[in-house]
Structure 1
Amino acid sequence: MTSRNAVLLASLMVFGLPATSLADEVQVAVAANFTAPMKIIAADYEKATGNKAELSFGATGKFYAQIKNGAPFEVLLAADDETPARMEKEGLAVTGSRITYAIGALALWSAKPGFVDDKGAVLKKGDFAHIALAAPKLAPYGAAAIETMSRLGLLSTLEPKFVQGENIAQTYQFVSTGNAELGFVALSQVYAKGKLAGGSAWVVPANLHKPIRQDAVILTRGKDNPAASALLKFLKTRQAQNVIKSYGYTL
């Protein structure tokens, strides 16, 4: 409880009002690919519940290491389903709290219109100097990119051209600034309101990599915070799901 809430609680007790009138805060670690939709969802969550979600964005693998070392997060929205499951087994998360909040899509994207065709043939042509992807050991979208190139038989050919971002947000930045002509990003980063936001892209077929099932889980630090469980419930509402789908995720 914040110091502000402590003062409010004391006031409520004096006047005999229920403590449930108080709003709570929850510290949330969010996979970088989910940045745009989560900012909208957090604002809607606060309006609907009065609770505030404090958001931090980054790579799932890095969050795992931070949480294991005592970072004060209470909820994790991961970019995969393996990390939350592992955290449950290791006692870092509340058993049974895990939900799948979205299934992500991988896209090969260029900031240049017409550079990436809708079949991904540009990969075979190789008419570029750099291709960006997120570090596969830290970011599930990076792992999906490696798997895609492997299945296409292009990994060894393209590997010398790799520019790796620490997370998918940095990978997007490499491409958007032109430091890499194209790169594998989350579709949600380049897709909004049902259409491509700019540039050119190939949405990678789901059969070229394992499903990017994104799970959320309440962490041990959040087990007694009602705002943590309320947030996971809110992710399942139609209001939140409409936002999620508008960024190219499936449910």
Structure 2
Amino acid sequence: MATYAIGDIQGCYDELQSLLETIAFSETDQLWLAGDLVNRGPKSLETIRFLYSIRDRVTVTLGNHDLHMLAVYSGAIRPKRSDTFHDLLKAPEAKQLMKWLRGQPLLITDKQLGFTMVHAGIPPQWSLEKAHKRAKEVETVLQSTLGSEFFKRMYGNQPACWSGKLEGFDRLRTITNYFTRMRFCDSKGRMEFSAKGTLASQPTGFLPWFSHEGKTLQESRVIFGHWAALEGRADRHNVFAIDTGCVWGNKLTALRLEDQQLFTVNSKMRYGN
């Protein structure tokens, strides 16, 4: 039995199947998926259908594209022209698939394996315990009757920094942005959203979230996706960047947690634009 963490799939179903063949994924293995299962790629429906069919062996942390699709499905917002998940929204089993996806967490930890996974990042001021408590706040609302209202208020860059005094949807939005959108932040956890490229694009006064001496990074090894421009390279021994830009024509990557061995397959084409 092995546990494999796979980076952002984004509807690249064919590449996912190739990667599973490469790792000889078996019925005793487990998958950790770092979010952004859908959108930009051509086969969001096939991807979610397949993952749902093996859901007992799949653990997901929700990404910003997953939340966006759920928001569109709920009717809270209109789809973007660039969205490629319309067939999934209209699928006969859409309600069942969306319910499953909406029930997935923002953060997971396996103490025995010594790994934590999140889609984007964890602010440096949060311990692992506090990070899980904050994730649970959003997950509870997301899975409740307040979910549609949350989706309406989810979008936006403010507040850009955590405060225990934050309340309501401002609080939930900030937590969600940390877990699903953050790349750069300062030592106090203030996020900067305009820079999305390589580390060379680092804004003055900000560092990649994992370059700070964060509390969580002292407690657990951390896996994340979201940041394709890193090409799978982070600057810490206990941090693993596994979004290698399959949807942009690069690679889809799996990390075997037991020995940290990496496996990759090439993208069949560039889907994103």
TM-score normalized by the length of structure 2: 0.25
Please state which structure has a larger fraction of its residues in helix.
1
RCO higher in structure (CA 8 A, sep ≥6): 1
Please state which structure has a larger fraction of its residues in strand.
1
Larger radius of gyration: 1
